Structure formats: C-alpha cells, structure tokens
Amino acid sequence: MKGSRIWKSVLINNFWQSEKITLDSYPRGFHLITQKVEAALPSIRRVEVGLLHLFLQHTSASLTINENADPTVRQDMEAFFNHSVKEELSFFRHTYEGKDDMPAHLKSSILGCQLTIPVQQGALALGTWQGIMLGEHRDHGGRRTIIATLQGIAA
C-alpha cells in the first residue's frame, strides 16, 4: 500500500531540532536577521520538507517577514510605527521603564513575536524579496533571544 510507505517514511525520517539563538543588541528599528537564523541552524540543509517556528522571548520587540532588498522599507516601517504608536501619551500608566517601553509592548503585540516558515529542499521557502526581520522597539533593548524549532522530514 502506497499510504503505508509514506507513513513509514515519516516515522523513520522525522526530524526535530530546537535551538536558542541569541542576537546581539540592535539599535531601535527593523533589522534583517535571516542570515543569522540560517547560520544558527546548519541542519536545515537536511530537511526535505518541514517548518521552522521562531519564537522571540521578549515583549518589547517583534518578528516579521518583509522586503529584504531596499533598506528604505525598514526605515519606513520604523517611521510608520513611531507615528502610529506615539510615546508619552497621557493615558499610559506603564511608564516606569522609560517612555519607549509601553509603545514597544504595543508594537510587539501588533506585529507579533513568532513566525512559522516553510522549509523545502534544505532551505527556507521565503519569497525572492522576503527576509526575516527583528523589530527592535526600545531605544536600548539589549540582547534578544529566539527559540527556533525545526521540524520536518530529513532527506
């Protein structure tokens, strides 16, 4: 039976890996981190088909996928979010960590702290102009940690 061969293949070639990726401190703004993620997961080349889940363990930064070619896209994203989520609004009560902290929490919630990316034939299946971005929403955010979980069928 063809279906049972597929199931047997899944059981034998099932691949799981979890890595903690620590990113150095970035200035406020949006930063391409695709190459850092790929470098931290050399075993991705073994995965024929699968998923990479990235979870950022912070509440004042975010992950997103967007254009990786023109740096003005990242500059415009920063300008848009700074315009949309202003600092020092009179109704903010969470202010004791700095004027940028509550807006950073809001930006993180809007954009999110996790991504799931397909893996095909040993590589991330991102589009031609797509890259993984870290949104650093604090003036001095510090190092950021991502838990990367790679799952799939090994080649």
| Residue 30 CA: distances (Å) to CA of 10, 19, 107 | 38, 23, 12
Q: What tokens appear for 34 in the block?
A: 């695709």
pLDDT given at position 103: 97
Whole-model pTM: value is 0.91
pLDDT given at position 1: 45
Q: What are the tens digits of pLDDT across the range 6-45?
A: 555 556 789 999 999 999 999 999 999 999 999 999 999 9
Which residue positions in the chain have pLDDT lower than 50?
Answer: 1, 4
pLDDT given at position 135: 98
| Residue 145 CA: distances (Å) to CA of 41, 48, 73, 95, 148 | 15, 27, 24, 24, 10
Query: Which CATH number is associated with domain 15-154?
Result: 2.60.120.460
Q: Is 81 helix (H, G, I), strand (E, B) or coil?
A: helix
